[in-house]
A and B are shown apart, each in its own frame.
Chain A
């Protein structure tokens, strides 16, 4: 039972264009959502988060959108840069309790020059 799903295993985008990564979840108890970025042979690093009381959070080139009714969130990167090439994981948790994260399968983003 995959509670957090990233249905696109890979995405290829031209440098300078917008990258859009998508994530769906099924558990309505989730109220906090995060995106992590992972380079090969490194641990995931936190990118941006959003709580369920918001529908948008922006940090520089990165924006996360949350659609609670559709149980869907997306990460927009604009403009995309070669250094953005990495695997991106969507994660979800409930703010109460032990704050365990449930991760999606990841999307490999490749930015082409």
Chain B
């Protein structure tokens, strides 16, 4: 049982390049989330998908897009990377009937130069 997996683990981009961060969960969870973690700021919600087929903005959505490909997979796309997007990105999922306990992936460390 892998839980929540994320690829890649590390990525370096130049300003203006694009990339997609992949996330998959094998727990049959309905809801999935993307967060970014920056020093001194905790984790901030970028986008979430309450259920398959729906996506909504979180606290810091600018510069990002998401796709809920199916129930298992939720991807985060940076169309034109900026140095301000240098961060650690975490994907999470939850079965909504169990309250708000979210399960997190191991993270993707992204550096934009």
B: contact size bracket: 20 to 34
Q: What separation, in Å, do the CA atoms of A100 and B4 have in the docked complex?
A: 17
List B contacts of A101 (CB < 8 A): 33, 43, 45, 100, 102
Q: Which of A13-21, A44-52, A56-64, A74-82 is near enough to bind chain B?
A: A44-52
- A48 to chain B minimum Cβ distance, whole angstroms, is 10
Closest approach, in angstroms, between the C-beta of B91 and any C-beta of chain A?
Answer: 8
**B residues within 8 A CB of A9?**
40
Q: Find the A residue at minimum CB distance from B50.
A: A98
Interface residues in A32-56 by Cβ distance below 8 A to B read 32, 34, 36, 41-46, 49, 51
Q: How far is the CA of A105 from the CA of B93 in the complex (A)?
A: 21
B74 CB → nearest A CB, Å? 13
Residue A22 is within 8 A (CB to CB) of chain B in the complex: no
Do A105 and B33 touch across chains, with their CB atoms under 8 A apart?
Answer: no
Residues of B within 8 A of A (CB): 4, 31, 33, 35, 40-45, 48, 50, 56, 58, 90, 92, 94, 96, 99-107
Q: List, sorted by A's number, 6 A–B pairs whose CB atoms are closer than 8 Å.
A: A4-B42, A32-B100, A45-B104, A49-B100, A91-B43, A99-B31
